[in-house]
């Protein structure tokens, strides 16, 4: 697996890169050839709102024109899930992998994405949890302060994946006021910095998150 740290990169450029890699991988699968290389893209985006294929536009609290006037781009994309926000201080991870080669299905894959985040934030003393019927990683699950720290949405074709997860590390959470995050109106959002009380080293979080994800993939491959 090649880990590509893109640093800060515009969403549109990253999306084009993903689609190019994804298309090449799927084409190999269609012709019965093995996928030669898998990729793990790590990136921070400038403010952008993305809507999954089943998203409700009513979950954007401003029109696309008003978003643009505020310097926020809007993209309608092919992942699952509803609407989410990306911005500086948020670590986005896009794995482009062949699930078939890892003896995994989409349900297993989503579990691995969530688990990699849960294990990463645990190293900062933060307890991440799953919430039934809501993908991603949550803090204070089941309480009246239930809040989301990581959103995820994926696309899979011929067992090849694209899109992935967004972990709020040092994110300015005011950006989420533009939307109903993931379609929810009664749940909050949070960040690793908000939970720990201090800014976190992004390079360290990248290393931990990519390491935990690769460990989980390797275990699936071996067992």
User: Over the stretch 53-110, which tens digit does the pLDDT of each residue have?
Assistant: 888 878 788 888 888 888 899 999 988 888 889 999 999 999 999 999 998 999 999 9
DSSP state of 58: G
* Contact in structure between 120 and 208 (CB atoms under 8 Å): yes
User: Angle at the Cα of 193 (from 192 to 196), degrees rounded to 5?
Assistant: 80
* Contact in structure between 48 and 97 (CB atoms under 8 Å): no
Mean pLDDT of 128-155: 92
For position 177, what pLDDT does the model report? 86
Q: How confident is the model at residue 133 (pLDDT cuts 50, 70, 90)?
A: confident
Question: Beta-carbon neighbour count of residue 86 at 10 Å?
Answer: 24
Q: CB neighbours of 146 closer than 8 A, spacing ≥ 6?
A: 131, 138, 139, 140, 187, 188
Tell me whether strands 90-96 and 129-131 are parallel, antiparallel or unpaired: unpaired
What are 210's two structure tokens?
């990519």
Q: How confident is the model at residue 137 (pLDDT cuts 50, 70, 90)?
A: very high
* Residues catalogued as catalytic: 182
Query: Can you give 15-28 as a three-state secondary structure string?
Result: HHHHHHHHHHHHHH
* Among 53-57, 123-127, 182-186, the range of highest mean pLDDT: 123-127
Mean of per-residue pLDDT scores for the chain: 92
For position 207, what pLDDT does the model report? 98
For position 53, what pLDDT does the model report? 85
For position 176, what pLDDT does the model report? 86
Question: Beta-carbon neighbour count of residue 146 at 10 Å?
Answer: 18
Mean pLDDT of 169-180: 88
Mean pLDDT of 192-200: 97
């Amino acid at each position: 697996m090649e880990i590509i740290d893109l640093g800060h990169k515009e969403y549109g450029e990253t999306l084009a890169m993903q689609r190019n890699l994804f298309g090449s991988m799927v084409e190999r699968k269609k012709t019965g050839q093995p996928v030669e290389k898998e990729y793990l893209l790590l990136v921070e985006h400038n403010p952008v709102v993305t809507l999954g294929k089943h998203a409700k536009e009513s979950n954007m609290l401003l029109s696309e024109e008003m978003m643009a006037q505020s310097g926020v781009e809007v993209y309608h994309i092919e992942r699952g899930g509803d609407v989410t926000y990306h911005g500086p201080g948020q670590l986005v991870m896009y794995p482009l992998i062949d699930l078939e080669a890892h003896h995994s299905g989409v349900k297993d894959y989503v579990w691995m994405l969530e688990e990699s985040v849960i294990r990463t934030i645990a190293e900062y003393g933060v307890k991440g949890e799953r919430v039934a019927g809501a993908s991603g990683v949550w803090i204070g699950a089941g309480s009246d302060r239930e809040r989301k720290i990581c959103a995820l949405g994926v696309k899979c074709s011929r067992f090849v994946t694209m899109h992935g997860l967004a972990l709020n590390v040092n994110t300015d959470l005011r950006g989420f006021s533009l939307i109903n995050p993931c379609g929810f109106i009664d749940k909050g959002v949070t960040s690793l910095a908000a939970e720990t009380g201090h800014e976190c080293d992004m390079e360290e979080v990248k290393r931990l998150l990519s390491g935990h994800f690769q460990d989980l993939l390797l275990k699936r491959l071996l067992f």
